[in-house]
Amino acid sequence: MAEQQPIPYGRQHITEADIAAVVETLRSDFLTQGPKVAAFEEAFASYVGARYAVAVANGTAALHLCALALEVNEHSRVITTPITFVASANCIRYCGGTVEFADVDPATILLDINHVRRLVESKPKGYYSGIIPVDFGGNPVNLQELRELADAHNLWIIEDACHAPGGYFYDSHGEKQLCGNGNYADLAIFSFHPVKHIATGEGGMITTNNEALYQKLLRYRTHGITKDPAHLHENHGGWYMEMQDLGYNYRISDILCALGLSQLQRADAGLARRRGIAKVYEQAFKEVPGIQEVATAPAAIGASGDTGHAYHLFIIRVQDRKGLYDFLRQHHIFAQVHYIPAHTMPYYRNLGYQKGDFPVAEHFYSECLSLPMYPSLTAEEQQYVIEKVKEFVAHV
């Protein structure tokens, strides 16, 4: 193969059908607030098995709307993981609340439920308001376990499922629970940034089974305004609407939803391809000294050997991570690091966090590298990546 072709860690996959869908919307009567938004919401809700879905401008707007709907304010304390994109924590700060990080599990790198339990049990009920677990890398959080803990302490849950559309874990009855299906989390959010599973450029989605939260999200998405006669205080005629809360313009356009709908039709195929790529990496690195992998959450592994891991990322852990990163770049392989722990960012340090606060997360950060993982990665390109990784670790 041409070794000069750059191989990124993730990229979108756009087909002629996607392009045709966007063009059709450009020729239609609605560029925004038309039929494609509702159609995308309905199809996405059904894809993840949730009752309601609200499409929004991006994943960060989705998180902000969730925090608003759950009435996060300056008295709220919310627990989340430091190994995530900073937006998972920032949504609490947008509403004036306090972010309380907890460390991650050393094997799965998901929020450590034992650490969360220690936190909530050390304080009176009501001290914490909620938890934002993240299906990091596509590895699904066991939300059944987390829900039990949340219920015992009166906490809400926002599942940040940006990495895991189509991911699942098995509950204690052996039932498959899709990420974002709303059975355990109050709200779940997704992003359609080009590196995520489904791309609209910018875009996001909130899913829930809670009708009251759903109604709030619809209002908050569009300035806090409602026109629904059933929810008005007065009614002056056909034009009448009320701004009932301070909302935002976090809407997404019909153009983007047309793309999302088209992409969603290939979501299962893309996910199957990601799982296939992961299997090849796992086989290749299994016996290689110096390369460690991140464990799949135990509840995500089915009795028949199926995996609920959604593989947004394929992460390896190596001692000389910087060396490997630089070596791969020299060979046009653009691996990436997910994530610099959020609590070590200057902004969060200014709020009182320090290096050393979450040693498991920080140790993981020192070793992790996300290898190319996207449906259009060819078998040839993947073999080249594997060869270069092995070449590097064999020489250190």
Instruction: In angstroms, give the least distance from the CB of 308 to ligand PLP.
Output: 17
Instruction: In angstroms, give the least distance from the CB of 10 to ligand PLP.
Output: 10
Q: How many CA atoms lie within 13 A of 363 on its CB side?
A: 10
Estimate to the nearest angstrom the gap between the alpha carbon of 58 and the chain centroid: 11
Interface residue with ligand PLP among 12, 25, 58, 208 (CB under 6 A) is 58
Report the residue number whose CB is nearest to ligand PLP. Answer: 59
Q: Does 37 bind ligand PLP (CB under 6 A)?
A: no
Q: How many residues bind ligand PLP (CB under 6 A)?
A: 14
Residue 265, both tokens = 């039709």
**Of all helices (H) and strands (E), which one includes residue 43?**
helix 35-48
Q: Does 12 bind ligand PLP (CB under 6 A)?
A: no
Phi, psi torsion values for 255, nearest 5 degrees: -60, -50
| Interface with ligand PLP in residues 194-233 (CB under 6 A) | 204
Q: Does 307 bind ligand PLP (CB under 6 A)?
A: no
Instruction: In angstroms, give the least distance from the CB of 135 to ligand PLP.
Output: 8
- From 58-66, 223-231, 253-261, 277-285, span contacting ligand PLP (CB under 6 A): 58-66
CB atoms within 10 A of CB 360: 18
Q: How many CA atoms lie within 13 A of 314 on its CB side?
A: 27
Residue closer to ligand PLP, measured from CB, 111 or 393: 111
Interface residue with ligand PLP among 12, 80, 81, 84 (CB under 6 A) is 84
Q: Does 163 bind ligand PLP (CB under 6 A)?
A: yes
Do residues 167 and 142 make contact, with C-beta atoms less than 8 angstroms apart?
no
Residue closer to ligand PLP, measured from CB, 80 or 222: 80
**Separation between Cα atoms, residue 273 and residue 211, nearest integer Å:** 35
Three-point CA angle 295, 280, 107, nearest 5°: 5
Q: Does 91 bind ligand PLP (CB under 6 A)?
A: no
Residue 360, both tokens = 């498991």
Do residues 88 and 134 make contact, with C-beta atoms less than 8 angstroms apart?
yes
Which chain residues interact with ligand PLP by CB under 6 A?
Answer: 58-60, 84-85, 87-88, 134, 160, 162-163, 191, 193, 204
